[in-house]
Amino acid sequence: MASPGPTTAARPRLVEGRGELSGAVAQALRSGGPPVYAAGSVAEADPWGEDLQLALCLLYELHYRGFDGVEDEREWDPDLLRLRQAMEARFLHALRTELSDGPRSVEDAFAPLLLEPVDLSGSLSHHLETDGELWQLREYAALRSLYHLKEADPHVWVVPRLTGRAKAAMAAIEYDEFGAGRADRVHARLFADLMTDLDLDPTYGRYLDQAPAVLLATVNAMSLFGLHRALRGALVGHFACLEVTSSPGSRRMARAMRRCAAGPAAERFYAEHVEADAVHEQVVRHDVIGGLLADEPALEADIAFGCAATVLLEDRLATHLRETWRQGHSALRTPLERRRAPQA
């Protein structure tokens, strides 16, 4: 039987901090008071580290479902927003520094993504398709659940910031992402069913505590871009990058799920994206990006930055997964429970 999916209003459990900043956020959310941290803590924090990335993730989640036991009003708490702004600036500066020699035009950013590389040895989906094991597919799904159980939600924020052709095209793509009017076809629901096939818990936010910073950064970036009107170009670039690269990667992932006998729902999720995202790629490049550039040509460098930042973050995650798996270790902060044996 298919899982009920992320269709209830249940909120995730608030996790423990991983350092001064995330600990301060977690304590503030539990107590209802302001976050308490030392002056200079943000400036000294590793922008890629567990502490800052978890702290950002906790604060961003207030704009989605929030946390069990945390009042909705904390979403706009000025003390929390002040801390979030400082950490966002640290994270955004790190991204821009890493990409200081990155592309400045849409053509330069997207051209390398439009052709399948001859050498796929660095591709994570290729590894999973050809050599991946079921336990690796389960870890990958657990990590990706932090986005896929709210798939497309961060990108909706850009719709009211677009006009004309770009707005209409973006809304059309999002309509597909949200099931084209059918709750059973919402992509978040399809991913919950994939998790059930893999004997994972499809509860929203269930694997937050086990997700390392390198995964949190991929989710935080889209929230960062989505929540700021000034970064609307970056969000469009980020979304377009996901759509352009999704179809070939999803094809490989569908084969990986089939080869490892993960289950029909696990295979279906990726098979759905092979067809849908092949169409979305054309719409997002020609109508969303094309429409936005026609309206606001000054945003081209921001669109290129959003695409390049997505590639950077995904490459960092893929490297982490390949290296830890090659050593025979779990890529999660704590390993998953063993898969239950099927009942006779």
Query: What integer pLDDT is reported at residue 253 of this predicted model?
Result: 96
Query: What integer pLDDT is reported at residue 174 of this predicted model?
Result: 95
Query: What integer pLDDT is reported at residue 5 of this predicted model?
Result: 45
From first to last of its 344 residues, the chain has per-residue pLDDT tens of: 444 444 445 899 999 999 999 999 999 999 999 999 999 999 999 999 999 999 999 999 999 999 999 999 999 999 999 999 999 999 999 999 999 999 999 999 999 998 877 567 778 999 999 999 999 999 999 999 999 999 999 999 999 999 999 999 999 999 999 999 999 999 999 999 999 999 999 999 999 999 999 999 999 999 999 999 999 999 999 999 999 998 899 999 999 999 999 999 999 999 988 877 677 888 999 999 999 999 999 999 999 999 999 999 999 999 999 999 999 999 999 999 876 655 44
Distances (CA, A) of 128 to 43, 141, 215: 38, 12, 17
The domains of the chain are located at: 20-98, 106-326
d(CA 83, CA 75): 13
Query: What integer pLDDT is reported at residue 49 of this predicted model?
Result: 98
Query: What integer pLDDT is reported at residue 147 of this predicted model?
Result: 97
pTM: 0.94
Q: Which positions ≥6 away from 128 have C-beta within 8 Å? A: 136, 137, 140, 252, 253, 256
Distances (CA, A) of 37 to 16, 43, 45: 16, 12, 12
Q: Are 90 and 42 in contact (CB under 8 A)?
A: yes
The residue written with tokens 């200079």 in the block is 40
d(CA 247, CA 121): 18
CATH of domain 106-326: 1.20.910.10
